[in-house]
C-alpha cells in the first residue's frame, strides 16, 4: 500500500524540486526548469529545416572554437537525437523575434515563426552552456552541458538599441564589430551609429571627398576637464581622426545583419555641422572661417538653408541609403544654435521667402525637406526631440532624449517614438557616486539599478498612444571616452540592464534576480574580454 503515494511523489517531484532558473540575460518571458542535462558531444548533429539552414551553420560556428567540436548540420532530414532548429508557423503568437526552446537529456529543440526568433533561441542556448562557450579558442576540462529547461520568449519592444558616438573619438572597425556582437548576445537589435558632428565627419561620401579629407581630422583635442573659458582650455597637440570607407560601412552593415542588428546611421543637421562646414564652407552661415572642432559643446556653426545646401545633404543621404538598408535614417536635429540664423540677413530673407515665422520654423522646414526626400524613397526619418520645435515633419519619428517630454508630445500627435532620456539612458554618465574612483566623465549619475528601473512607456502616456513607443536605447557619447576599453567600461554591465528593460516583460523584472544572473553573465563578458565595470557598492 505504500507504493502508490511513493509513485505519486516521484511523478510530482519535477514540479516540487525546481532547480534554479538559468542565468539568462535578458530574462525570458517564461522559464520552466526540468531535470538532467543534455551533453554536447563531438558527434552531436544539428538538424535544421531548410528555412533554418543558415542559422544552423551559425550555431555550429558559435560552438566550435571553445569546444573544438565541428557539428554536422543536416538539412531537411528526419531528426534524430541532437539539436533541432525548426520554423513553426504555429508560434506566430510569439512574433518574428519570439522562440520556444526545449532542452531535455535527449536533445534541444528551438522553434520560431521567424528567422530572428531562431537567432534569439540560439543566443539563449549560448547562455545555457557554461560561460566558457564564448571563448575563441578551445577550453579544456569543461563539460558542455545544457540544463533541461522549457523556455518561451519574445521581446517587449521592437526597437532595442545602443548608440555609439564615433566622432568625438574615432573607434576602429574591429571594435564596432565587437560592439555589435555584444548587442546580439543581449538580444538588442538596433545599432545607432553617430557618424557626423562638429569634431569630425566619419563616413566616406564619394561625391564630396573633402568631407573626409578635411572633415575627418581635427588638429588636436581639448584635455579634460572642460573649461567654458577658451583661455583656460588646454589641448593635447595630437591630430585625431579617422573615417569609415564605403567598403568598411558595407562590412559593418553585413556583419550586423547576420546578427539581426539593424544599423541606423546618423547624419547631423542643421547643427553639429562644424566638420562638414570646415570641408565645404559654402554650406555654412558665418563669415568666420570654420575648422573641425577641437573641444566639446554646442557650436554656432549651422548649415544655411539654401537650395544648394539642401541638395548637398540630400546627395549625402542618397549615398547613405545605398549603404544602409535601414528603414530609419537619423538626421540628428539636436542642439542647433539659431544665433547665426538670427543674425544673417541672407537667412532672414530666406525665412521671409519661404513664408515662415522664425528660425524654429526654418529648422522645421529644413527637416521636412529631408523627411519628404526619405519618404519618397521608402525610408523614414528619425531625429532628436528638437525636431518637434517649429512643427514636426509628417513622417518623422522622434528620439526623446531630454526626458520624456518630446516623446510624449510626439506620441500624442500620432508619431512613433524611441525613448533614450538622459536620466536612464546616457551611459556617458558616472555609474557611481564615488567619482574620485571613476574615470573622468561628462558628469551625471546613472548607476545600474537606475537603468534597470527604466520603463520606456511613461505612466503619463494614455493607453491609446502607447503603441507609438517603439522601444528604447542607451546612448554612448564619447567626449571623455578616448579608448575602446573605456567605452566597454561605460557600456557594461549597464547595457545588460538596458537589455532587460527593452526585452523582458515588466512583471518579470526583478533587480535582485537580475543581480544573481548578472554574476554568471559577467563570466560571459570575461570570456569575451569585455572591460566591464566590476559591480561594487
Ligand atoms: C544629444 O544628447 N544631444 C542628443
The residue contributing the CA closest to ligand 1 atom 3 is 334
Active-site annotation holds for 251: no
Range of the domain at 140: 6-153
- Of all atoms in ligand 1, which is nearest to the CA of residue 335? 3
pLDDT band at 290 (very low <50, low <70, confident <90, very high): confident
In a domain, 111, yes or no: yes
pTM over 0.75? The answer is yes
* Phi and psi at residue 170, to the nearest 5°: -70, 135
Task: For residues 101 and 166, state if they share a domain.
Answer: no
In a domain, 283, yes or no: no
* Phi and psi at residue 298, to the nearest 5°: -105, 130
Task: For residues 114 and 180, state if they share a domain.
Answer: no
Grid cell listed for 363: 529648422
- Of all atoms in ligand 1, which is nearest to the CA of residue 332? 4
Task: For residues 435 and 497, state if they share a domain.
Answer: yes
pLDDT of residue 504: 98
In a domain, 237, yes or no: no
Task: For residues 142 and 181, state if they share a domain.
Answer: no
Task: For residues 146 and 180, state if they share a domain.
Answer: no
pLDDT band at 13 (very low <50, low <70, confident <90, very high): very low
CATH for 417: 3.20.20.80
pLDDT of residue 1: 35
pLDDT over 90 (residue 463):
yes
Task: For residues 173 and 149, state if they share a domain.
Answer: no
Count of structural domains, the chain: 2
Residue 315 CB less than 6 A away from ligand 1: no
In a domain, 522, yes or no: no
Please give the radius of gyration of the chain, using alpha carbons only, rounded to the nearest integer.
25
pLDDT band at 251 (very low <50, low <70, confident <90, very high): very high
What are the tens digits of pLDDT across the range 364-399?
999 999 999 999 999 999 999 999 999 999 999 999
Task: For residues 180 and 51, state if they share a domain.
Answer: no
The last residue of a domain, from among 134, 153, 172: 153
Grid cell listed for 536: 561594487
In a domain, 203, yes or no: no
pLDDT of residue 19: 77
pLDDT band at 14 (very low <50, low <70, confident <90, very high): very low
What are the tens digits of pLDDT across the range 67-96?
999 999 999 988 888 999 999 999 999 999
pLDDT band at 18 (very low <50, low <70, confident <90, very high): low
Q: Residue 287 and residue 285: Cα distance in Å, rounded?
A: 7
- Of all atoms in ligand 1, which is nearest to the CA of residue 422? 2
pLDDT of residue 79: 81
In a domain, 53, yes or no: yes
Residue 422 CB less than 6 A away from ligand 1: no
The residue contributing the CA closest to ligand 1 atom 2 is 401
Task: For residues 356 and 499, state if they share a domain.
Answer: yes
Active-site annotation holds for 335: yes
Which of the residues 21, 291, 335, 337 is marked catalytic? Answer: 335
CB atoms within 10 A of CB 378: 8
> Using an 8 Å Cβ cutoff, are 146 and 125 in contact?
yes
pLDDT of residue 9: 41
In a domain, 407, yes or no: yes
Q: Residue 464 and residue 473: Cα distance in Å, rounded?
A: 23
Task: For residues 184 and 84, state if they share a domain.
Answer: no
Grid cell listed for 537: 557598492
How far away, in angstroms, is 237 Cα from ligand 1 center?
27
Task: For residues 15 and 70, state if they share a domain.
Answer: yes
pLDDT of residue 498: 99
In a domain, 226, yes or no: no
Amino acid at each position: 500500500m505504500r507504493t502508490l503515494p511513493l509513485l505519486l511523489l516521484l511523478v510530482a517531484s519535477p514540479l516540487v524540486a525546481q532547480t534554479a532558473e538559468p542565468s539568462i540575460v535578458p530574462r525570458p518571458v517564461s522559464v520552466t526548469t526540468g531535470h538532467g542535462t543534455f551533453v554536447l558531444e563531438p558527434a552531436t548533429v544539428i538538424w535544421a529545416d531548410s528555412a533554418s539552414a543558415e542559422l544552423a551553420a551559425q550555431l555550429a560556428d558559435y560552438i566550435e572554437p571553445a569546444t573544438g567540436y565541428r557539428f554536422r548540420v543536416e538539412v531537411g532530414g528526419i531528426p534524430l537525437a541532437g539539436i533541432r532548429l525548426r520554423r513553426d508557423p504555429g508560434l506566430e503568437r510569439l512574433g518574428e523575434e519570439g522562440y520556444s526552446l526545449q532542452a531535455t537529456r535527449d536533445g534541444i529543440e528551438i522553434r520560431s515563426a521567424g528567422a530572428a526568433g531562431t537567432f534569439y533561441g540560439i543566443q539563449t542556448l549560448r547562455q545555457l552552456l557554461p560561460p566558457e562557450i564564448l571563448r575563441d579558442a578551445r577550453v579544456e576540462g569543461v563539460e558542455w552541458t545544457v540544463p533541461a529547461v522549457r523556455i518561451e520568449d519574445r521581446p517587449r519592444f521592437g526597437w532595442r538599441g545602443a548608440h555609439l558616438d564615433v566622432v568625438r573619438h574615432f573607434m576602429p572597425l574591429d571594435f564596432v564589430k565587437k560592439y555589435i556582437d555584444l548587442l546580439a548576445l543581449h538580444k538588442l537589435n538596433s545599432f545607432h551609429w553617430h557618424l557626423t558632428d562638429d569634431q569630425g565627419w566619419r563616413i566616406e561620401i564619394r561625391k564630396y571627398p573633402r568631407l573626409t579629407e578635411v572633415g575627418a581630422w581635427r588638429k588636436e583635442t581639448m584635455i579634460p576637464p572642460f573649461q567654458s573659458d577658451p583661455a583656460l582650455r588646454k589641448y593635447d597637440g595630437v591630430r585625431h581622426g579617422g573615417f569609415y570607407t564605403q567598403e568598411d560601412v558595407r562590412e559593418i552593415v553585413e556583419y550586423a545583419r547576420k546578427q539581426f542588428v539593424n544599423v541606423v546611421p546618423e547624419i547631423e543637421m542643421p547643427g553639429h555641422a562644424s566638420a562638414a562646414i570646415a570641408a565645404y564652407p559654402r554650406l555654412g552661415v558665418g563669415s568666420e572661417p570654420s575648422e573641425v572642432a577641437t573641444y566639446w559643446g554646442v557650436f554656432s556653426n549651422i548649415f544655411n538653408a539654401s537650395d544648394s545646401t539642401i541638395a548637398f545633404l540630400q546627395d549625402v543621404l542618397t549615398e547613405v541609403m545605398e549603404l544602409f538598408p535601414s528603414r530609419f535614417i537619423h538626421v540628428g536635429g539636436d542642439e542647433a544654435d539659431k544665433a547665426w540664423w538670427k543674425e544673417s540677413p541672407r537667412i532672414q530673407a530666406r525665412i521671409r521667402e519661404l513664408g515662415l515665422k522664425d528660425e524654429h520654423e526654418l529648422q522645421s522646414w529644413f527637416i521636412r525637406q529631408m523627411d519628404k526626400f526619405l519618404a519618397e524613397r521608402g525610408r523614414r526619418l528619425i531625429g532628436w526631440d528638437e525636431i518637434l520645435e517649429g512643427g514636426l515633419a509628417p513622417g518623422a519619428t522622434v528620439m526623446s532624449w531630454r526626458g520624456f517630454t518630446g516623446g510624449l508630445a510626439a506620441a500624442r500627435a500620432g508619431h512613433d517614438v524611441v525613448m533614450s532620456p538622459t536620466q536612464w539612458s546616457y551611459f556617458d554618465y558616472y555609474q557611481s557616486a564615488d567619482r574620485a574612483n571613476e574615470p573622468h566623465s561628462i558628469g551625471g549619475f546613472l548607476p545600474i539599478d537606475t537603468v534597470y528601473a527604466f520603463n520606456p512607456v511613461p505612466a503619463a502616456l494614455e493607453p491609446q498612444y502607447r503603441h507609438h513607443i517603439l522601444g528604447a536605447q542607451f546612448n554612448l557619447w564619447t567626449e571623455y571616452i578616448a579608448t575602446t576599453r573605456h567605452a566597454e567600461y561605460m557600456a557594461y554591465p549597464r547595457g545588460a540592464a538596458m537589455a532587460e528593460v527593452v526585452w523582458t516583460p515588466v512583471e518579470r523584472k526583478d533587480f535582485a534576480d537580475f543581480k544573481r544572473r548578472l554574476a554568471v553573465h559577467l563570466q560571459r563578458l570575461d570570456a569575451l574580454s569585455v572591460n566591464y565595470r566590476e559591480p561594487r557598492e
